[in-house]
Chain A
């Protein structure tokens, strides 16, 4: 039952997160609230709503009863595990700092509205530093942070990990479809020369 609750919560999060980001949904919004809202304000609303929903759902998942412990990291290795958790956090921070955060959280689009810039300005593909090797370094950072967040491995931890991996796989598939539409051959070439988020997986 507990595993089912966990999967259901990830499913609810994944479905709403994906639908709200899809072009067809943005088209619907454009028809209802107008082009200006969709271009300049939607991204910020989307970011805030996802922060709230993710925080709530993750809080519920953290409170699901763990029935059994699969294994526990030995005390002798806890310190190594701790430093690995710090390294994974550093990796996540660096991967986030590599993209335009103001665009990601929607602030840039709002500023563009007030300085009367067109919302759909040309976006340049990021192929520097971590992006030279991985197309989604932030996803790898999230996976690593999650893996090293606990030393007690339970059935809920494993279920969460599988759900995170499944969601990242599905999410990145659709994300890349949109990116190919936007950047065309440049992205297809980039895809050939880089790994998705784990080494050896293209």
Chain B
């Protein structure tokens, strides 16, 4: 049980804490929503929405760029490693 806790905390530190800490040290407190607001592409009609979807549909199919897929794949391996300990 103690080893499991140590493995959990060290993996959590490497995967989650370290990247956030490095980002914080480099750029300060950054918010993803604020960055989205600053982006130049802006949609204000249904026609523009449709065009945006058509243009970006193929990009969204690249699973390696998909943060949700990455999140769950990392979480899957995280859980598998913990179950092995």
Q: A82 contacts the other chain (Cβ, under 8 Å)?
A: yes
Contact A62 B39 (CB under 8 A): yes
With A52-B66, A59-B56, A157-B33 as contacts: A93 and B42 at CB distance below 8 Å: no
Shortest Cβ gap from A139 to chain B (Å)? 15
Q: Which of A103-119 contact B (CB under 8 A)?
A: 104-105, 107
With A54-B68, A96-B75, A101-B76 as contacts: A63 and B52 at CB distance below 8 Å: yes
Q: How far is the CA of A79 from the CA of B42 in the complex (A)?
A: 28
Q: How far is the CA of A151 from the CA of B56 in the complex (A)?
A: 27
Other-chain residue from B29, B36, B43, B67 in contact with A55 (beta carbon distance below 8 A) = B67
Q: How far is the CA of A138 from the CA of B48 in the complex (A)?
A: 33
Contact B43 A63 (CB under 8 A): yes
Chain A's closest residue to B38 (CB) is: A152
Report chain B residues within 8 Å CB of A102: 76, 79-80
Q: How far is the CA of A5 from the CA of B45 in the complex (A)?
A: 7
Contact A1 B49 (CB under 8 A): no
Interface of B is mostly: helix
Q: How large is the interface on A (under 10, 10 to 19, 20 to 34, 35 or more residues)?
A: 35 or more
Contact B44 A64 (CB under 8 A): yes
Q: A198 contacts the other chain (Cβ, under 8 Å)?
A: no
With A90-B16, A150-B33, A152-B34 as contacts: A64 and B43 at CB distance below 8 Å: yes
Q: How far is the CA of A39 from the CA of B64 in the complex (A)?
A: 26
B: number of interface residues (CB 8 Å) = 37
Q: A65 contacts the other chain (Cβ, under 8 Å)?
A: yes
Other-chain residue from A48, A51, A85, A105 in contact with B76 (beta carbon distance below 8 A) = A105
Supply 30 A–B pairs (Cβ within 8 Å), ascending by A. A2-B44, A5-B44, A5-B45, A8-B46, A47-B72, A51-B66, A51-B68, A51-B69, A52-B66, A56-B53, A60-B53, A63-B36, A63-B43, A64-B44, A82-B31, A86-B20, A89-B16, A96-B72, A97-B75, A101-B72, A104-B72, A105-B72, A149-B31, A150-B32, A150-B33, A150-B37, A152-B33, A152-B37, A154-B37, A157-B33
Given A60-B52, A150-B33, A151-B34, 8 further pairs, Cβ under 8 A: A5-B43, A5-B44, A47-B72, A52-B63, A63-B43, A82-B31, A150-B31, A150-B34
